[in-house]
Amino acid sequence: MSITARSAGVLLHPTSLPGPFGVGDLGPAAHRWVELLARAGQSWWQVLPVGPTGYADSPYQSPSTFAGNLNLLSPESLAADGLASAADVAACELPADGPVVFADVIPRKRQLLRTAWQRFRAGPHELRAAFDAFTASEADWLDEYALFAAVKDSQGGAPWWAWPADHPPPDADADAVGAHRFGQFLFARQWAALRRHAAGLGVKLIGDLPIYVAHDSADVWANPQLFRLDAARTPTQVAGVPPDYFATTGQLWGNPLYAWETHRAERFAWWVKRVRGILKHVDLIRLDHFRGLEAYWAVPFGDPTAEHGTWQTAPGAELLAALKGQLGDLPIIAEDLGFITPEVHALRTGFGLPGMRILQFAFGGAVEPRFRPHRFTSDAVAYTGTHDNDTTAGWYAKLDAAERVDFARYAPGAADPVRALIRLAWASVAELAVCPLQDLLGLGGAARMNTPGTTSGNWTWRAPAAALAVPDWLDFLTDVTATYERAANHTPLNPEPGS
């Protein structure tokens, strides 16, 4: 599903939902959230990657591009399915407000899954047929991931290249492997229920697909031929971005790069499977670091910074053509931020993909003219900021006097700069406008989700319970969405003849 009309949405990762278990999940708060979006006329809910998290709890360093994050399992939903008792649910309880403390959440959710698996295995269960159907239909990724995850657990979480040479044996701990299969079944079941509820309210989902996968992942472990590794399965070059305004030594991501010649020879089959997999869960995909499909920054493995990389070309047009041939219309938002060349622009427009326009980049810091709203084109998604930006209140607080004057000239008379920036996004000609919930709440920099180039203090923000219980932002969002003709099922005030 592509963007077909003026519409609007909100960016909020599920872990940032409030709730009694220390982390947002797919349970009652998520269902309440989509109801609020529908009440405000929103058509879209955008999330970050929902796979298992890896290094530094980052959703962009996942041990699987196909699996779901079991920290998102709802204890209440498991209880409703007869897989958890009231005591099991109570054992997961943590402070309802405040940041996520993953060190507290993860062991509780893992114990809950073990308990659910034991209950399921203890005797006949009404979910048995559904579980068997799921394991059969998803076997092409589920089997290797469940085995990878089970062995990783048995090795104390060590990366796969540090495992003993004889691991994993074909029959490695069948019970542990089964538990991981079951966890993925439960995630898919709860996600599908949430998506059905959203769809019934007219709310669609935007997912996020990182361009690269983590080195310590089932994807690389099971498919080393698809990545640029040496004979010892060590990367020869890794991913990053060159020095720029935001990072003087560049950003060293460390992900292994693709062996594009192998992907080409296999007609991009792994990529087709990957995109088809995420489209089972969402309606539209934000493809992170889209420019890497045209050319990517390759850094020698072992370098301490990204300064000494080189640009290398990628077969983006061939890949997108293969995806289109297999999947039809490409429901993709191209994250075309950073150093964008005419070739990257041509790749995006050639396949009819909307790009991203970040309004914060128009008025402060490394200002780029293309982010000024009067320069937007309709094939764009307008954002006040993303998960990598400061909140708009935090951003505005750091503007110098000249930048504030510039902003005031562009949005004259605005008493509230945060809501003024939201209005600029919603008023623009971009087909879709999105803002993070933090901006709707007017929160400062302490509510920032991620600071690029850092590995601590990220991904932990949670909305206060009052944001969903008594949402004082709802009237504003409803009004601005209706004013700028973005409300779901909106009829234009002056429709074109024949429309």
Residues that are catalytic = 288, 335, 388
Q: What share of the chain is helix, strand, coil (3-state, %, to 5)?
A: 45, 10, 45
- Whole-number Å distance between alpha carbons of 179 and 142: 12
Nearest-10 Cα torsion for 169, 174, 180, 185: 130
- Whole-number Å distance between alpha carbons of 368 and 389: 15
- 251-256/310-313 β-pairing: unpaired
In eight-state DSSP terms, residue 271 is: H
Q: Partners of 209 in the beta sheet?
A: 287
How many distinct helices (H) and strands (E) make up the chain? 19, 12
- Whole-number Å distance between alpha carbons of 182 and 186: 6
Whose tokens are 């538990």? That residue is 179
- Whole-number Å distance between alpha carbons of 232 and 212: 20
Non-local CB neighbours of 224 within 8 Å, separated by 6+ positions: 233
Q: How many CA atoms lie within 13 A of 341 on its CB side?
A: 11
The amino acid occupying position 497 is: P
- Whole-number Å distance between alpha carbons of 150 and 134: 19
Q: Residues 58, 431, 419, 407: is their CA dihedral positive or negative?
A: positive
Question: Which pair of structure tokens corresponds to residue 422?
Answer: 């939201």
Nearest-10 Cα torsion for 434, 436, 437, 438: -140
Under DSSP, is residue 258 helix (H, G, I), strand (E, B) or coil? strand
Question: Which pair of structure tokens corresponds to residue 168?
Answer: 């994993």
Non-local CB neighbours of 494 within 8 Å, separated by 6+ positions: none
Adjacency order of strands within the sheet including 44-46: 332-334, 284-287, 204-209, 44-46, 7-11, 432-436, 380-383, 355-358
The amino acid occupying position 48 is: L
Phi-psi region of 485 (alpha: psi -120 to 50; beta: other; left: phi over 0): left
Question: Which pair of structure tokens corresponds to residue 429?
Answer: 């000609």
Backbone angles phi, psi at 299, to 5 degrees: -110, 130
CB 92 within 8 A of CB 75: yes
CB 433 within 8 A of CB 486: yes
In eight-state DSSP terms, residue 56 is: G
